[in-house]
Structures are given as C-alpha cells and as structure tokens.
Structure 1
Amino acid sequence: MLDEEPTVTTPHPLNSGLRVDLNPAAAIARNARHQGDTVAVRYEGGDLTYARLDDRSARLATVLAQGGVADGDRVAYLGLNSGAFLVTMLAAFRLGAVFVPVNYRLAEPELERVLHGSGATVVVCEEGHRESVERVRERTHLTRFLLVDDDPEAPTPGAAGWEPWSPLLETALPTPALAVKHADDAAILMFTSGTTGAPKGVVLTHGNAWWNAVNVELRLDTRRGDVTYAAAPLFHIGALNSFVLRTLVRGGTVVVRRAFDPQTCLDDVVTHRVNSMFGVPQMFGALARVPGVFEQDLSHLRAVVVAGAPVPPSLIEQYAAHGVLLQQAWGLTETAPFATHLPAERTLDKIGSAGIPMPFTEVRVVDTVTQEPLKPGEPGEIVVRGPNVTAGYWNNPEATRAAFDDEGWFHSGDIGHLDEDGFLYIVDRLKDMIISGGENVYPAEVERVLAAMPGVHDVAVVGVPDEQWGETVAAVVTVADPEAITLEDIRAYAAGQLARYKLPRRLTLVPALPRNTSGKLDKTVIRRMAEEEG
C-alpha cells in the first residue's frame, strides 16, 4: 500500500501569533496581578509597585477617556524622566492611543511644530515646561491640559486653564478596559531632532517595540527581575526601548532619574545593584572621571549598552580593564532602536565595531549611487530591514518614500563598512563628510583618533570653507589644560594614524561641546564655532 501524501494544515490566523496582543499595558496588568508588591519604578519623587503603577495608569486612562481620548488619538507628555512619564505612556496604551514623548529641550518654534504636527489633543506637563506650552497652545490641536502636581521633584503652584492631575486620579475609577494591540498598530510617535530641517514624526508600532525586545533578549545577558537604570532622556527611543519598557513588561525594576549626574549614577548602580543600562559615550566618559569609580563593586553590571554617538575605543578599553564590558550598538529612532550590537565577548577583539545585525534584523552596506551591496571594507550607506523598523513618518508620505526603497530597505544616512566577519563599523553621517582637495574625510574617523589623545576630554571635527582646499578639517576640542595643547600637538599626535589630508588645519578650544539631547554632537553649532575662530 502506497504511503499517503502528508497533509499540511494551515494554522488558523488566531492561533498563528499574527493576532497576539502586544500591548505593554496588558503586561503591566498581568504583573500587577501576580507580583503586585514588586517595585516597578524607583524614583526620588515616589516609588511605584506594579499594583500602584497599574492602578494609576488605569485611573489616568479613565480621565483621558472622559476627555474624549480614544483609540488612535495622540497623548503628549512634556517633562523630565519621572514616574508620571511612565504612567502617562501606559494610560495611553490602555486606551489604544498613541504616546507622544516630547523633547523638553526644544525651543518654542520646535515645540509648536511637534505638538501641532502630532495632532495631540491632550498634554500632560510638568510645571517647568507649562509656560512654553502656554505660548504655543493656540497654534496646536490641544484641547486639554493636565498638570503633574504631586511630584516633589517637579513642584507646581497651579495655573489657570490647567487641570491638576492628582485630584482627577484620586476620584477616577480605574478603567478595566485594555485595548488589544497588534504588531502593526501605532504605539509611539517620536520626533527626530530636526538638525537638518523640520523634525519628522517616526511612527513606532507595538510590533517594532516587541521585536526589538526579542532581539535584545536573544543577544544580551538580561534576566527576569533585573534592575535597569534610566537616566538618559526617556523621550528618546534609546533610553525608552532599550531596557525600560521591556524591563517593565518582564516584571523587573527601573531606577528612574530625572537627568544624568555621574556621582548619582555611581551611587545608584552600586546601591541598587543595577544589571543593565543604556547611555551615550559622554555619560560613560563622565562616569569614568568620578573619583574611585572603579574601586566600587560593579560586577552585577551585565548588559551595558553604549550608543547614540561614536564610541572612543579608549573608553571601551578603560572600562574593560576594570571588568565592565561596554557593548556598542548602532541604530536610530527608526529602528526602535537597535539594528546592530557587539556581543560582550567580542568587546575587545572587535573594538570600535558596532557589532553584527540583531537576530531578526537585516543590515547591508550599499553604494550610495548604484545601491548595490559593497564588498567588505568598502564604505557605503547602511540600510536596514526588519520588523523593528518604523512603519514610516507621520503624515509625511514623501519622507517615507525617500527613506525606503522598493525592496523595503530603510536608508539610514549613515556611512559604514563591514569587515570580513560581517561586523559593522560606523564611519560617519553621509551629510557630515568633508571634501578637502577632492579627498573624502569622515569626521568620526578623526574624532576617534583625537579622543584618545592624553589631555583631550571631548572632540568634534567639522569641515569649514577654505579658499585653497574647498573645505578644510577643523577640530573643536575641550581639554584639561588649554595652555598645554596646540594645533601642532594635535597634528603630531594624529600624524601616525591618519593620512596627512585628514589632519586638522584649524583648532578651536572651548569649555564644552554642544550636544543634542540624544548625546550627538550639534555639528551646526560646532561648525559655526570653528568658522568664527577661523
């Protein structure tokens, strides 16, 4: 008797995982049921257990719903890192609304563009930013204004036209409703820094956040019950979705600080035995300068990710010498945030690399003209494809079309190259490239060399106009002793590591380098500094 052909059963769509609920608010509710007394958020303005976090977000969801917020509406938050930030985000998620974390350092014209462009109808705000909202409110879609009035770290005297949220939360009944959200549903609307024009709204879906979490789970040493540290601004995806959101979903503890302070960070890491944290290189550089930092017990730090700006190899070596492995990663807001990551065990033998693609993310380096993949060692534009990549830009189909090609690859605007083993090295931003005498100079390459120079604390390299060369290389530097370093010293130090045409021809010493809130150098302001010096 002949064997029968095997029967292939097509899974029912409801059983395939395609329709699974990915709403983080549902995970918080589960944690509240099963581990309600566990501290979810440690914050100087008041700790929150999972039961308390779930209750407050459910009450705020009721308040928002009573004001007309429904599925797909946008809810904005303007303030520093706090428990209120997380409560507002989870309340929006409960209703199926889209959370809009606003950069609190924006100038008022930028704030207006973000609030108006998002279409947010309600804003939750701290007192320190209320007046800025007041001055732009008439040119936005905002109809309701809630003021955080129960945070000792953000005291408020109250103001006409604003509703203090504490009495509203006290009297509202917690809504039992929890919107079911799938992979393609929008979760967060996060605006880019806008350094090259008007900020674009990046739509991050619940699937984007979830797949990033899966990537992190498979690549980094993180565990249930971990303690993570959040001092980088939560309105950036690097801080919010590297560890914070996923730690809450898993039932761990998030230590929230309103802003980064090196000494406070060290105290917190030691006291709370922090296991994971995200930071930009500037943060880890400042932490390394705290007296006695490496004499403390840092052995519990297992997953320390540094990203957001080029990482000096000397910084990685300094930490590694004391048993702390800084794991470099690369990504953008649009990749939610990680596209690549350097595994801890490769920290030193692949020093300077941003790592390999995350497990469920594809990364290529392509020719900027032909778009064809390049051979190892050849620099080109880094393109990314995967379920962690944004669905597109909010109400901006032109920008979305420009960012994605016909095969679904997102074009990052970053220049890099792969080595023979498939490890990615970031060269620079395409727009920052200097063309001097017909030669291409990538500022990040020069910055990495100069950052290791003794006495140099911080460095930025830009191109400035030059009659002979078209552009020339200018270094803007902060140093320990301004009298001890000259342009000739800089050139002599770098001469053995860089081609002559890459050596700076101008030097500007400044007390501090301007950076944006994600830790990236503000090249527009820095270029102006260099030009004025010249």
Structure 2
Amino acid sequence: MAAVDISPAAALHRRAKYPTPTALRYEGQEFSAARLSRTAVELAAGLAEQGLRRGDRIAYLGLNSAAFFHTLFAAAHLGAVFIPVNFRLVAEEVRDILVDSGAHTLVVEDGHRTLVESIADDLPARRRVLVDTDPACPAPATPPAGWTPLSLLLGPGRAERPPVPLHEDDLGVLMYTSGTTGRPKGVMLTHGNIWWNAVNVDSMVDTRSDDVNLAVAPLFHIGGLNALTLRTLLRGGTVVVRRAFDPAQCLDDLVRHRVTGLFAVPAMYAALAREPGFAEADLSALRSPIVAGAPVPPRLIHDWAERDVLLQQAWGLTETAPFATYLPAALTREKTGSAGAPMPYTEIRVVDPVTGDGIDEADTRGEICVRGPNVTPGYWNNPEATAAAFDDAGWFHSGDIAHRDKDGFYYIVDRLKDMIISGGENIYPAEVERVLTACPGVLEAAALGVPDPTWGETVLAVLTCAPGAEPTLEEVRAFAGRHLADYKLPTRLLLLDRLPRNASGKLAKAELRRQVASRPATDTL
C-alpha cells in the first residue's frame, strides 16, 4: 500500500477547489483558501528560484501574520522544513537557533531586521527575505542591502510545480523550546506528528469543518500553531489572526466573529476574565476553549464556568505536537484540575523518576511519559538530549510529575526540576500556587524553593495582587493552611507588580529567581 500524502500544502490546495468560508482574517484583510493557496504556490516558486530545496530549513521571524502562513505553506509545498522563531528573543538567542538549525533562508519582518543584521556575519543563511506585503509591519520603500523583498518572490510567470508529496516520517517543523530548562533545543516535528495531533483533536474535541478559530497565542508556539489553528485552516474553517494578545481586543473578537475554538494559556484566560464587559459578553458560540501550557488554577475554571463556558484542560509539550491528554467539556466541573485522559492515539504511563519502574497505583505521583505517533522522533542535531529523553521502549520522559486517579484521569503536579525538598519532604510548587491564587486579592502566584538552615529549603511565595490588596505572610499562611500541610506553607513572602513570563505565557522561573535574588522579602517568619 502506497504511503498517504499528508502535506498541508496539498490539503490547502484541495480545500481551495471547493466553496468554503473565508480561510483567514487578518488586520482587515480576508483570504479565501484559493487566495491563500495561490500565494503559497507563487512564494514556493520564488523561493525555489532563490535556491530553497526539499529538506532545507526556512526560518520565519515576526509576529502572527498572514505572511507567517504564506511561508509555512510555501515551505511545505517544496518539502522544506519550517522554523518559526520566537520573536521575543534577543540577538544572541536568535543566532543560536539559526546557526544550530543551519537555516538556508530567513523571512523577517522589518521590526526584526536590525536584530538579524547585527548577527548576519555569524549566520549560515544564504538568503534574507524582508516582509513588505503587510501594512501592519511596513518595510522601507527601497530594499536594504542584502535583503530580497517578499513581494519580488510573488506573482505569476515562474516555473511552478505541484506540492511535494509528504509522508509521516518527513520532517515538517523545527520548533525550538522556550528555554525554561536552559539553552533551547530544536524539537523535530514530522508531518506525521502534526497530522496525528489533528486526528486526536478531532476525535475528542467538539471541532467541525466550519469552525472559527481565534489565533492570539504566538504561532511560534506549538499550542498556537497546532492545537486548533492548522486543522481549522485545512479542514474548511476560518482562522482569525491577531498579531499579539490584547485582552480587550480578544474579548471583542470572541463576540464579533462568533469564535468557536480558542487555545490560550491560563494567564490569557485570567486576563479575559478580568476585562470589563466579560460578564456581559455573548460567548455562546465558544464551545471549544482549550487551556494548557501552564498549571491551571481551579478558580480560573470556576470563573469561566459561571459564564457557562467550560474550559477544557489539556496537557502536552512541544515534543507531543502538542496534546497528549484532554479533559472533555462534560467533565470540566466533575474533574476540575485534571488534564484529562490520554488522547485516543497516544499512550501515557507514570513511572518512578528514580527507578523508571511503572506506577500502576492510583493517586501515586511519578514522571509522566508519552508514546505515540504525535511524539517527536527527537532533537535536531542533539543525539545526547534525544537519548536522555527517550527510554529503550520508546517512551518520551516529559519531566512533569503527575498522578492518575481511580477513573484514569491525570493530574499534572509540577515540573520534576522545580520540586522543593524541605526536611526530606517533596513539595510541588504548582500545588502550592493553585492554593495561593485562591487567596483573597491575589491575582498571580509563584512558589520557589529558597535555602533554609534548618530544613534545607522552604517555600517563598511571590504574589501579584489586585489594587489595594497587600496580604501579609501571616494572612497568606492562615488561608493556605486550610488546604496545605504545614511544611508546604510559605515562610517568606514577596509582592511584585507582575510575574515574568516567557513568550508562551509560561512563568519564567529562571528570570523570577534572578529578580528574587536582588530583592528582600516583603515578609518573613
């Protein structure tokens, strides 16, 4: 039996043959599937003239945009590997990614041109393309030296070819991790990984061919790109693209466009819930709001449930493309706090992080491991990291601590590396943070381990609070003590205006530790 072609470029080309709703809405522009596909075909021909070939890497550096999708589909058309680069990185970090990946071509918005020029001598890229087709990020009228305007690569008249057939093992996307554990690693995602995630999502989530998806999470993040966005584009729905997340604009978009599906991290949903007008907004179309990417406070689930919107928690990583577990809306209230059960075509197990032995008992914590066709084959140019992440049976070790209840639903406790050991007892910061965020007046919370001469480590609570709220350590301990054992209670308190987060919306604990090191605690025992 011949291998099935699962190229996203071919899928978009097929969609373009049929009458379907607008495929993409972006900054006042509307793109039909035919227009989107035509632009991708033209760009693919232009990039081929520039020397881009199957297997070459092409990087995109810029905010969410139509040009992002043009580049992605043009890359797939040629069988090239697409690299979405985190647009919030500094020059050194971008250089590391572009050098490590060996990117042949760079497609860059003008807002990042100076950054790229500052590291150009170190880069292996042979071609630099400047986006000049987007009024939201205008480019100079005269192309800067060394740059090819994107517009020059578009238009008819070039030798065109049909999309390159792509199969499960063909590398499609090289996505660099956010770097919360150190230097970013290039996660290799095959077209099979991407395709099987869509199959998992469509098997479990209430998705339909005419969905309206709002893409406000960064598209360089696997959740923003592949949770709902790509499958919506390829299946026949509409994607509303915003360059970045703005709570007021997002709330308006949910109502105005009758959005049915949204992927966002907890901090985004929390910001929406605080937005004036949230209580009155018509969110009746929103049937597939997925929350993932960071620990989800139960209070957040309850806040949205009061609006009759049932947030659906999922869990996964870049390495799982992204979802490994999912909690259906029907169980949102009954299993609040659970990240759900395994996706249909994904296996999950919990193991002892020391021995690697499987844990079969319910409510026993261990490292959660994943196996399935949505799981990356490994890290680009990094066999050591790949070997460390996979065991001999092919299980990917996530580094997350979880437990499974008697019904088979999983609860993510924390990152293994973030665990605090106090007096020989294990403390998981996410467990403490869930309680702290429920404290009156608290908006956000982080729990860090800090040295203690008696216990080795104890908990430092770092909080952001609503205007006028300044809880004391005694008040925080009194509240948290109703839900946590004594040894888990914070012994120090620090109040900040905001918590640092990376571009994916996750708490940037390395940066937070640096901030904490330079500031005295607000309150201590």
Q: Same fold (TM over 0.5)?
A: yes
Letter in 2 for 1:134: E
Q: Superposed, which structure 2 residues align to 1:114-129 within 5 Å? A: 114-129=97-112
SS in 2 for 1:415: strand
Q: Indicate how the Cα distance of structure 1 residues 484 and 398 shifts in structure 2: closer, same or farther if over 3 A, else same.
A: closer
The residue that corresponds to 1:107 in the other structure is: 90
**Quick check: 1:132 aligned with 2:144?**
no
The residue that corresponds to 1:500 in the other structure is: 486
Among candidates 248, 254, 259, match of residue 233 of structure 2 = 248
Q: Superposed, which structure 2 residues align to 1:484-523 within 5 Å? A: 484-523=470-509
Q: Indicate how the Cα distance of structure 1 residues 176 and 525 shifts in structure 2: closer, same or farther if over 3 A, else same.
A: same
SS in 1 for 2:279: helix
Deviation at 1:171, TM superposition (A): 5.4
The residue that corresponds to 1:9 in the other structure is: none
Q: TM-score, normalised by structure 1?
A: 0.95
SS in 2 for 1:100: strand
In the alignment, the residues of structure 1 paired with residue 32 and residue 467 of structure 2 have an alpha-carbon distance, to the nearest angstrom, of 48
Q: Superposed, which structure 2 residues align to 1:169-180 within 5 Å? A: 169-170=154-155, 173=158, 175-180=160-165
The residue that corresponds to 1:70 in the other structure is: 53
The residue that corresponds to 2:342 in the other structure is: 357
Letter in 1 for 2:339: A
In the alignment, the residues of structure 1 paired with residue 270 and residue 307 of structure 2 have an alpha-carbon distance, to the nearest angstrom, of 14
SS in 2 for 1:33: coil
Asked if the contact 1:62–1:172 (Cα under 8 Å) also holds between the matched residues in 2, the reply is no
The residue that corresponds to 1:458 in the other structure is: 444
Deviation at 1:481, TM superposition (A): 3.5
Letter in 2 for 1:226: D
The residue that corresponds to 1:42 in the other structure is: 25
Asked if the contact 1:99–1:189 (Cα under 8 Å) also holds between the matched residues in 2, the reply is yes
Q: Which of 163-172 and 384-393 deviates more?
A: 163-172
In the alignment, the residues of structure 2 paired with residue 502 and residue 361 of structure 1 have an alpha-carbon distance, to the nearest angstrom, of 34
Asked if the contact 2:301–2:310 (Cα under 8 Å) also holds between the matched residues in 1, the reply is yes
The residue that corresponds to 1:146 in the other structure is: 129
Letter in 2 for 1:34: Y
In the alignment, the residues of structure 1 paired with residue 265 and residue 385 of structure 2 have an alpha-carbon distance, to the nearest angstrom, of 27
The residue that corresponds to 2:453 in the other structure is: 467
Q: Which of 297-306 and 158-167 deviates more?
A: 158-167
The residue that corresponds to 1:384 in the other structure is: 370
SS in 2 for 1:427: strand
Task: Give the total of aligned pairs.
Answer: 517
In the alignment, the residues of structure 1 paired with residue 152 and residue 128 of structure 2 have an alpha-carbon distance, to the nearest angstrom, of 14
In the alignment, the residues of structure 2 paired with residue 522 and residue 94 of structure 1 have an alpha-carbon distance, to the nearest angstrom, of 36
Q: Indicate how the Cα distance of structure 1 residues 196 and 172 shifts in structure 2: closer, same or farther if over 3 A, else same.
A: farther
In the alignment, the residues of structure 2 paired with residue 525 and residue 389 of structure 1 have an alpha-carbon distance, to the nearest angstrom, of 29
Q: Which of 208-217 and 363-372 deviates more?
A: 363-372
Q: Indicate how the Cα distance of structure 1 residues 407 and 51 shifts in structure 2: closer, same or farther if over 3 A, else same.
A: same
Asked if the contact 2:222–2:321 (Cα under 8 Å) also holds between the matched residues in 1, the reply is yes
SS in 1 for 2:16: helix
**Quick check: 1:323 aligned with 2:308?**
yes
Among candidates 3, 9, 21, match of residue 5 of structure 2 = 21
In the alignment, the residues of structure 2 paired with residue 189 and residue 520 of structure 1 have an alpha-carbon distance, to the nearest angstrom, of 20
**Quick check: 1:441 aligned with 2:427?**
yes
In the alignment, the residues of structure 1 paired with residue 124 and residue 25 of structure 2 have an alpha-carbon distance, to the nearest angstrom, of 34
Among candidates 237, 244, 261, match of residue 246 of structure 2 = 261
In the alignment, the residues of structure 1 paired with residue 276 and residue 329 of structure 2 have an alpha-carbon distance, to the nearest angstrom, of 26
Asked if the contact 1:45–1:152 (Cα under 8 Å) also holds between the matched residues in 2, the reply is no
In the alignment, the residues of structure 2 paired with residue 418 and residue 172 of structure 1 have an alpha-carbon distance, to the nearest angstrom, of 59
SS in 1 for 2:155: helix
In the alignment, the residues of structure 2 paired with residue 246 and residue 56 of structure 1 have an alpha-carbon distance, to the nearest angstrom, of 19
Asked if the contact 1:203–1:391 (Cα under 8 Å) also holds between the matched residues in 2, the reply is yes
The residue that corresponds to 2:407 in the other structure is: 421
What RMSD over aligned residues (CA atoms) do the two structures have, in Å?
1.2
Deviation at 1:137, TM superposition (A): 1.7
Cα deviations across residues 467-496 of structure 1 (Å, max 9, x unaligned)? Answer: 222112001110013653111111111011
Letter in 2 for 1:56: T
Among candidates 140, 145, 166, match of residue 160 of structure 1 = 145
Cα deviations across residues 168-197 of structure 1 (Å, max 9, x unaligned)? Answer: 313553723210000011000000112222
SS in 2 for 1:294: coil
SS in 1 for 2:451: strand
Letter in 2 for 1:504: P
Runs of 4+ aligned structure 1 residues displaced above 4 Å come to: none
The residue that corresponds to 1:531 in the other structure is: 517
Letter in 1 for 2:340: G
**Quick check: 1:87 aligned with 2:70?**
yes
SS in 2 for 1:435: strand
**Quick check: 1:208 aligned with 2:193?**
yes
Asked if the contact 2:47–2:153 (Cα under 8 Å) also holds between the matched residues in 1, the reply is no
Q: Which of 46-55 and 489-498 deviates more?
A: 46-55
In the alignment, the residues of structure 2 paired with residue 211 and residue 515 of structure 1 have an alpha-carbon distance, to the nearest angstrom, of 30
Letter in 2 for 1:354: A
Letter in 1 for 2:37: D
Letter in 2 for 1:263: A
**Quick check: 1:195 aligned with 2:165?**
no
SS in 2 for 1:54: helix
SS in 1 for 2:487: helix
Cα deviations across residues 288-338 of structure 1 (Å, max 9, x unaligned)? Answer: 011121312111111110000000101101111111010000000000000
In the alignment, the residues of structure 2 paired with residue 466 and residue 105 of structure 1 have an alpha-carbon distance, to the nearest angstrom, of 35
Deviation at 1:531, TM superposition (A): 3.1
Which ranges in structure 2 are unaligned for 5 or more consecutive residues? none
Asked if the contact 2:222–2:322 (Cα under 8 Å) also holds between the matched residues in 1, the reply is yes
Q: Which of 104-113 and 75-84 deviates more?
A: 104-113
The residue that corresponds to 1:10 in the other structure is: none
Deviation at 1:163, TM superposition (A): 1.1
Give me the identity figure in percent: 60
Asked if the contact 1:147–1:165 (Cα under 8 Å) also holds between the matched residues in 2, the reply is yes
Cα deviations across residues 348-368 of structure 1 (Å, max 9, x unaligned)? Answer: 110000000000000111101
Asked if the contact 1:61–1:174 (Cα under 8 Å) also holds between the matched residues in 2, the reply is no
